[in-house]
Amino acid sequence: MVLNAKAVFPGLLFAAMVAMAAQFLSEHYGAPVMLMAILLGIPFQFLSTEERTAAGIGFASRRVLRIGVALLGVRVSVDMVAQIGFANVALVGSGVAVTILLGLVMAPLFGRDRSFGFLVGGAVAICGASAAMAIASLLPKGEKSERDVTFTVVSVTLASTVAMIAYPILISALGMDSQSAGVFLGGTIHDVAQVVGAGYSVSDETGDVSTLVKLFRVGLLAPVVFIGALFLRQSGQGAEGVPLIPGFVIGFLVLAGTNSLGWLPAVAIQTADSVSRACLVTAVAAVGMKTSFEDLRSVGRSAPLMILILTIALAGYVLAGQHILF
C-alpha cells in the first residue's frame, strides 16, 4: 500500500502532539504515560471522523503501533534466560500461559467473546498496553474493537499502577529476599515503567532482577502473537489481511536475535528503545482519539472485574510457584 504522506500528516501530527503532552505529564508529575496518552486523546475523538485527520489517526493506531512493537525487540536477548535461571523462566513463562488461558475461559462466563478474553489476558500476562495493542491488531474488527482496546489499556495501566504501590508492601510483609522479590515484581506487574518503579523502590538488586524478568516477559509477546494469529486463522476469526506471522513480529524477532548476537551498539539500542516508546505512546493516543467516554461507559462491570481477577490470579500463581520451587 502506497503511503499518502499529505493525507496522513495532519492526523499523525495531532496524535504525536497528544503523545508529547502525555510524556510531559509523565516526566513532570509521575503520571503513567500510556494512561495519560489515552485519556488526553479521548476528548479529540471528533478528529477521527474529520476527513482531514482521519487517515493520519488511523495510520498512527496501526502502522506506528507495529513499528513500536517491532522495535521492542532491542530490549530482549537470549542472555536473559541464563541470567534469570531456568526455574524462574519456567515459572514466569507458565504464568503468562496460565493467565491468557484463564482469560479465554473466563470470557464466556462474563458474557464476553474469547477475542476479548485473549486481549485482556495477554495485556495482563505480558506487558500491559503494548501487548494489548499488538494483540488487538490481530483480532477481527467490529463496532466495539476500539472501545475494548481503549478500556483494556486504561484498566491494565491503572491495575499496574496500584500494583506498583501495593506489591512492595506485600514483599516487605512476606520477608522476601531481593532475588525472589525481583522475580515476583517482574513476573506480575503489567507495564515496564511500573516494574522499574516498584523494583528500585525496594532495592537496587531487586530493581535489576525485576527489570530483567519483565523484559523476558516482553520477549514472550512475539510467540504469543504468532500462536494467537495461528489459532485465529484456523478458526477464520482473524482480522482481514493479517498474515500468519505479522511483519512486526518478524521485525521483533530479527532485532532480538541481532541483540542476542551482540551486533547492536549501545547507542543503537538506546535510540531504537526511545523511538519504540514514542511510537507506542503515539499509537495509544491515536486509539484514544478513536474512542469516546460514552463508549467506555458501555463496557459494563464484567470487563474490569475480569482484569482484576486476572491480575490477582497471576500474582497468586507466581507467589505459589516461588513457594513450591524455592
- Torsion sign across C-alpha atoms 292, 154, 303, 93: positive
Question: What is the predicted pLDDT for the residue at 81?
Answer: 80
| Angle 23-33-288 from CA coordinates, rounded to 5° | 100
- Are 120 and 303 in contact by the 8 Å Cβ rule? The answer is yes
Question: What is the predicted pLDDT for the residue at 150?
Answer: 86
- Torsion sign across C-alpha atoms 52, 36, 159, 67: positive
Residue at grid coordinates 524462574: 88
Distance CA 223, CA 230 (A): 10
- Torsion sign across C-alpha atoms 31, 33, 34, 37: positive
Question: What is the predicted pLDDT for the residue at 238?
Answer: 60
| Angle 219-132-320 from CA coordinates, rounded to 5° | 60
Q: Which three cell numbers stand for residue 88?
A: 524462574
* 106: phi then psi, degrees, rounded to nearest 5: -70, -35
Distance CA 24, CA 173 (A): 35
Distance CA 21, CA 39 (A): 11
Question: What is the predicted pLDDT for the residue at 3?
Answer: 63
- Are 28 and 294 in contact by the 8 Å Cβ rule? The answer is no
Question: What is the predicted pLDDT for the residue at 1?
Answer: 47
In Å, how far from its chain's centre is CA 208? 20
**Residue ranges, the chain, pLDDT below 50:** 1
